[in-house]
Amino acid sequence: MDQERGVPPARLQRLPSWLLSQAAVRSHRLLTEALAAVGSRGYEYRLLAALDEQGPSSQAVLGRSVGMDRRDVTMSLADLVGHGAVRRAPDPSDSRRNLVTLTATGHKRLKELDQVMDGVQDQLLAPLPPADRKRLTALLARLQP
Amino acid sequence: MDQERGVPPARLQRLPSWLLSQAAVRSHRLLTEALAAVGSRGYEYRLLAALDEQGPSSQAVLGRSVGMDRRDVTMSLADLVGHGAVRRAPDPSDSRRNLVTLTATGHKRLKELDQVMDGVQDQLLAPLPPADRKRLTALLARLQP
DNA sequence: CAAATTTCAGTTCCACTGAGATGG
DNA sequence: CCCATCTCAGTGAAACTGAAATTT
C-alpha cells in the first residue's frame, strides 16, 4: 500500500547532476500541483510573463524566449485566447505573422500567478534558512553558461 | 548558424524553480551526450551502480531504488544482459522474481562509466570555482526533504 | 528565406495482463 | 482448498519532446 521509494545508491547521491535532477523533479511537481490548483499550467505563466515584459510578440519569438516548443506555444495560446487573457491577430504590417497581445484580463491573471509562484519557491526552499536560499539561488544563476 | 535562444523574462530568471529547471536540462544534455559517446545511457549507469552497492536484486527493488519505471528497467536490463554486464535468472525462493546479478564485465563497465560521469560533473560545474562547487553540491543535497 | 504548422522518431509514463505469492 | 488481494515482470498505448519536413 505504500509508495516506498528505495534508497538511491551512494554513488548517485554524491553527483551534482543527480542532485540537480532530483531537485528539479521535486520542483516540477510542486509547481504543477500549485498551478493546477488555480486552473493553470507552467506554460501559461511563462507566456504571460514574456508578453508582459516584451510587449506584443510573434509566436516564434515568444517560444524562443521561454524555451517552449512551437506546438506548445500554439496550443497554450489557444487556451489563453479562450480565457480572454491574450488576443491573437495578424500583424497589420506583416500578414504572415501573428501578433500576440496581453489583455487587461491577462495582466491581472499574471499577477495572481506571481503569488502562486512565490508560494512554490517557499515550498521548494523550505529545508533551507533564508541566507542559504539566497546562496543557492545565486549559485544556480551563475551555473548558466 | 546560432541556436538563437531568446532572453528569458526577468520574472523567470529570479525564480529558483526556473533556474533549477534550466540547470537540470543542461545537466541532462551533457550527461546524455557523454554517455552516448561511449555507447551507454543514464539508465545503465543507475542500474549498474545500484547492483554494485546492493548486490543481486529483483527488478522491482532495482527500479524503486533508482526511481525508474518498470518498463525502462526491463528494457535496459535486456541491453545489459546482451552486453554481458549482468545476469538475469529466476529467484529460486520466489519464482515471480528475476534475480539480477552484476558480472565482472559489468563491474568493469561501471568503473569506466564512473570516469565519464566525473567528466560530466566537471563540465556542468565549469562556471564555478572549486569552493563554490562544493557549496552548491551541499546545498542541493540539503534540499531533499 | 521567414513564420507557422505538420510529421516522425525517440523517450517517458501509465495501465493492464498473466503468473506466482500470501493470508484468512 | 478456496478466495481475495497483493507483487512481479512484461507489454501496449498514450503523452510528450525535439528535429526535420512541409505549407502558407
Is there contact between A11 and strand D, defined as CB under 7 Å from any strand atom? Answer: no
Whole-Å CA distances, A110 to A40, A65, B101: 11, 17, 53
Per-residue pLDDT of chain A (145 residues; tens, 9 = 90+): 455 788 999 999 999 999 999 999 999 999 988 998 898 888 889 999 999 998 888 888 888 888 887 778 888 888 888 888 998 777 667 666 778 899 999 999 999 999 999 999 999 999 999 999 999 999 999 998 7
Selected residues 77-136 of chain A with any CB under 8 Å from a CB in chain B:
114, 117, 120-121, 124-128, 132-133, 135-136
Q: Which positions of strand D lie within 7 Å of protein CB atoms? A: 6-13, 17-20, 24
For residue B140, which residues of chain A lie inside 8 Å, CB to CB?
16, 19-20, 23, 136
CA distance B116 to B49: 13
Using the predicted structure, report yes or no on whether residue B1 has a pLDDT greater than 50.
Answer: no
Q: Per residue in B74-118, pLDDT tens?
A: 999 999 999 999 999 999 999 999 999 999 999 999 999 999 999
Residue nearest to nucleotide C11 (CA to C1'): B72
CA of A30 to C1' of D9 (A): 31
For chain B, give the mean pLDDT. 94
CA distance B124 to A144: 9
Residue B102 pairs in a beta bridge with B86
Count CB neighbours of B129 within 10 A: 9
In B16-135, beta strands by DSSP E = 57-58, 86-91, 94-102
pTM across the whole model: 0.90
